[in-house]
Structure 1
Amino acid sequence: RISSLRHVMDDVVEEILLRLPLDDPSCAARASAVCKHWRHLLADAGFLRRYRAFHRRRAPPRLDFIYDAGSPLARFAPTTAFRPADLDHDGWKPMDCRHGRALFRTSASAVLCAVSGCDHGGCHGGPFAVAFVANYVMEGEEEEITSPTSAWLYSSETGTWSAPSTVRHHNAEPFPKPSVLAGDGAVYFLTWHGRNILRYDLRKLDLTVIASPEIDDDDFENHLLMTTEDGGMGLARLVSGHSLQLWSWKPVSATAAAAWVQLRVIDLDLVIPGDAMRPRLLGFAEGTDMVFVDTTYDGAQVVQQIELSTLKVTKVLDECYASCVLPYMSFFLPGRQKGKLPPSAITL
């Protein structure tokens, strides 16, 4: 009977722990301190799978932001009571953030989990891949000569880079803003001046160029790649400082090739408080419908989150002088994730 009662109590405890809130990792930390049994339960691989399945209808919580503070300086900005090790790094440029990993560099690149069929809720300890896109400019005697743009794929399992896939185009220089991983198995990158988008197929290792929607505004920095509700590749574009255009790249019929379809136009003057100065697009949270913009109030830069479905606006960072923002999103439970990363875990 004692054994049966203990089993029932374990089931009750597990049901309680499954309901720990996603958006406050400190709750899990406090629960793990109750006793060794609870800590072992929270760190158990089977429990972690059930926890992610229980919350699968919600995106992993956004624990914090990584943003480029200039110079370059990669800065880590927590948004909850959870405080990890200091991750501010002078000389590091944040490039991408996905599946519980952050990538810092040079040029344009993307990081992603390499496990087929993974739900990406807590996979940051497994194999990963890095897609890297770059070109270079050589000083000629009479004019600058731009090299073709090439893409490579790195595998952490083999420790090797793929052969390059190269495209020759007059406007295919990658622009250092966050990429997006779409449901078609490709990573997309913006190019300078916003005229084109680079598509790198992760299965075929093929790099191609897609023309952006026609543009009348020269403010190409106010372009942002995103994913649409159906998992496709989309584009957010801020025109004239207040008109937010949302586009989707998808087939217009069962037999036609993909084309741009304008989904929506949002007047930010009606969404953001009227005393804010000209906003800029800084980032997008994959798996959600949230974009991040910065606005200026009384000379101070503020980063705000806009939920596109409801147009709800939330201030997330105060006095944050950033050129781009990467939301770090992952399930966190104590036991397997603590302390500083060893040097071997930091890959540049």
Structure 2
Amino acid sequence: MPPPPPSMLMEELLEEVFFRLLPDEPAWLVRASAVCKPWRSILADPVFRRRYREFHGTPPVLGLFEKLSPRLVPIPAFFPAQTYHPDWAAMDCRHGRALFCQFGETRDLIVLDPLTGRQCQVPSPPHYPVYFSAAVLCAAQGCDHHNCQAGHFRVVMCPSKLEGVTLGWMYSSETRLWTELTSDIHPTADYYSVSAMPSILVGDAVYFNVDAVIECQLGTLCFSMFEKPTDDNGTLMMVEDDVLGFAAVVDVTLTLWSREAGPEGAMGWIKLRVIDLKTLLPNVALFIPSALVINGYAEGTQVIFVRTSVGCYMVDLKLGRSRKVSYHGRKSFPYTSFYIPDSCTSAAMEAASPGQGQ
């Protein structure tokens, strides 16, 4: 068989180079597409985009929504403009979607795709709790969640004050109905969290971090409840091998726990490691140790967000580095997704590279 023509070889080599452009810097893809029409043609190809997502696997952190703020705080420099909705409050982010509560008489929920602006209004459940946490997630079975923002989704709502046997509700965008979720759990005390707390999806269960940890098994819609490893303010996260974990700051150290089976088979918290934040944060961020609080976690990664007296820092525990991403330090809902800008295929990009690739 004769070798392929040089143009085909060059295209394959270029694809391998483009695969290695980091997804957390979308501007690099835009600049590459502006070089010439052949390059733009490669980047616009749906097959390349699918393989690009598969190559990188874990979606990058593109920004964060902060408590009581409906506008995305972008982390990359290049990101589409966001419409401001002053009557929205951020509740959750997952699988390329963001969830908001809409203030007003109805207090409906809004599911938004920040990359396209596409939104879906979710009516409030029949018995609306005053305080609650909520999670949004893809409804497709076996999905890799690389590009499913336009598909069906579910919303799981957990009231922050637990009373009786009602522990939550689940909404399906396919049926457009809420299902009341009940349990035989009878808490000995009321559990309060006066505002939305980030949830986490581990395996087939959603976990809510109120005064205790509430687990909702999606397959059986069964609830369970267990204590957190510490009374200190912390966050649920995922640790090695996709295991539920917990992280909390004490003084200037970060302690990580994992929930595992003990020698006798009972589930419990095991301390994994203690990290000195002096090795991760600049001195100015450590000036007031009592201000250090974990206020967010990027699901599926080893990235946490730490509130300090001078703002919010994104800390990558795997790479051992940090960067300041916000001056406010409010409760954060990180947004992760793959973003290959539409401008890679637009006529505007052709105008940005006149006379090239002809």
Instruction: Give the equivalent residue in structure 2 for 1:140.
Output: none
Q: Does the 8 A contact of 1:172 with 1:198 survive in 2?
A: no
Q: CA deviation at 1:99?
A: 1.4
What is the aligned counterpart of 1:207 among 218, 223, 228? 223
Question: Structure 1 residue 155 and structure 2 residue 160: aligned?
Answer: no
Query: What is the alpha-carbon distance in structure 2 between the residues aligned to residue 271 and residue 13 of structure 1?
Result: 36
What is the aligned counterpart of 1:130 among 150, 155, 163? 155
Question: Could you list the per-position Cα deviations for residues 42-67 of structure 1 after superposition, in whole angstroms to 9, with x for gaps in the alignment?
Answer: 344432221122222xx322222211
Q: CA deviation at 1:203?
A: 0.7
Q: Which amino acid aligns with 2:340?
A: L
> Equivalent residue of 2:70, what SS?
strand
Query: What is the alpha-carbon distance in structure 1 between the residues aligned to residue 138 and residue 331 of structure 2?
Result: 22
Aligned residues: 308
Query: What is the alpha-carbon distance in structure 2 between the residues aligned to residue 132 and residue 202 of structure 1?
Result: 12
Instruction: Give the equivalent residue in structure 1 for 2:49.
Output: 48
What is the aligned counterpart of 1:188 among 207, 215, 218? 207
Q: How does 1:156-305 map to 2 (within 5 A)?
A: 156-166=173-183, 167-169=185-187, 170-173=189-192, 176-183=196-203, 185-191=204-210, 194=211, 196-215=212-231, 220=232, 222-239=233-250, 241-253=251-263, 256-268=265-277, 271-275=280-284, 276-277=287-288, 278-296=291-309, 301-305=310-314
Instruction: Give the equivalent residue in structure 1 for 2:84.
Output: 88
CA separation of 1:251 and 1:164: change in aligned 2, threshold 3 A: same
Q: CA deviation at 1:205?
A: 0.9
> Equivalent residue of 2:240, what SS?
coil
Q: Which amino acid aligns with 2:56?
A: H
Query: What is the alpha-carbon distance in structure 1 between the residues aligned to residue 318 and residue 171 of structure 2?
Result: 36
Q: Does the 8 A contact of 1:39 with 1:334 survive in 2?
A: no
Query: What is the alpha-carbon distance in structure 1 between the residues aligned to residue 256 and residue 190 of structure 2?
Result: 23
Query: What is the alpha-carbon distance in structure 2 between the residues aligned to residue 157 and residue 182 of structure 1?
Result: 23
> Equivalent residue of 2:72, what SS?
strand
Q: Does the 8 A contact of 2:292 with 2:307 survive in 1?
A: yes
> Equivalent residue of 1:164, what SS?
strand
Q: Does the 8 A contact of 1:248 with 1:262 survive in 2?
A: yes
What is the aligned counterpart of 1:329 among 333, 336, 350? 336
Q: Which amino acid aligns with 2:235?
A: L
Question: Structure 1 residue 63 and structure 2 residue 79: aligned?
Answer: no
> Equivalent residue of 1:74, what SS?
coil
Query: What is the alpha-carbon distance in structure 2 between the residues aligned to residue 309 and residue 4 of structure 1?
Result: 43
> Equivalent residue of 2:47, what SS?
helix
Q: What is the aligned-residue RMSD (CA, Å)?
A: 3.0
Q: Does the 8 A contact of 2:248 with 2:293 survive in 1?
A: no
Instruction: Give the equivalent residue in structure 2 for 1:23.
Output: 24
Instruction: Give the equivalent residue in structure 1 for 2:134.
Output: 109
Instruction: Give the equivalent residue in structure 2 for 1:313.
Output: 322
Query: What is the alpha-carbon distance in structure 2 between the residues aligned to residue 42 and residue 269 of structure 1?
Result: 41
Question: Could you list the per-position Cα deviations for residues 92-119 of structure 1 after superposition, in whole angstroms to 9, with x for gaps in the alignment?
Answer: 1111111111111272111112222222
Q: Does the 8 A contact of 2:133 with 2:160 survive in 1?
A: no
Q: Which amino acid aligns with 1:205?
A: L
Structure 1: unaligned runs, 5 residues or longer: 138-145, 340-348
> Equivalent residue of 1:90, what SS?
coil
Q: Does the 8 A contact of 1:112 with 1:128 survive in 2?
A: yes
Question: Structure 1 residue 73 and structure 2 residue 69: aligned?
Answer: yes
> Equivalent residue of 2:80, what SS?
coil
Question: Could you list the per-position Cα deviations for residues 146-188 of structure 1 after superposition, in whole angstroms to 9, with x for gaps in the alignment?
Answer: 56552222222232222322443224445621111112x1010
Query: What is the alpha-carbon distance in structure 2 between the residues aligned to residue 295 and residue 17 of structure 1?
Result: 37
> Equivalent residue of 1:238, what SS?
strand
Structure 2: unaligned runs, 5 residues or longer: 102-130, 347-358
Query: What is the alpha-carbon distance in structure 1 between the residues aligned to residue 92 and residue 143 of structure 2?
Result: 19
TM-score w.r.t. the length of structure 2 is: 0.75
**% identity of equivalent residues:** 38
Query: What is the alpha-carbon distance in structure 2 between the residues aligned to residue 235 and residue 338 of structure 1?
Result: 42
